[in-house]
Amino acid sequence: MHSDIDEALRRLGTASHPGLEGLEDSVLAGVKSRREARAGIRMAALAGVGAIALGTLAAGPTAPPASASPLAPFGAAAPLAPSTLLVTE
């Protein structure tokens, strides 16, 4: 099998495929649409981070949680027992 590389390359260079017409435009349009989609995602992420920061700043410093005194149901330290609530001094 004898093939001339120069002749084969020359034939490839002269042959034009109909699907290649406008290929650059469609590729560049696809790149542009993906770039715009990524910009939209970035803006949404930036808005989310800003909302979290604003919410954190609006909440301000939090106070330590209040500790309730333990209730002893059977004993002298029962401030909510009916007997202590009804007694008036």
- What's the average pLDDT block by block, 10 residues per block, for the chain (89 residues)? 79 75 87 86 91 89 71 60 67
pLDDT recorded at residue 29: 92
pTM above 0.75, yes or no: no
Distance CA 89, CA 87 (A): 6
Write down the domain spans for the chain: 21-59
pLDDT recorded at residue 71: 61
DSSP at 28: H
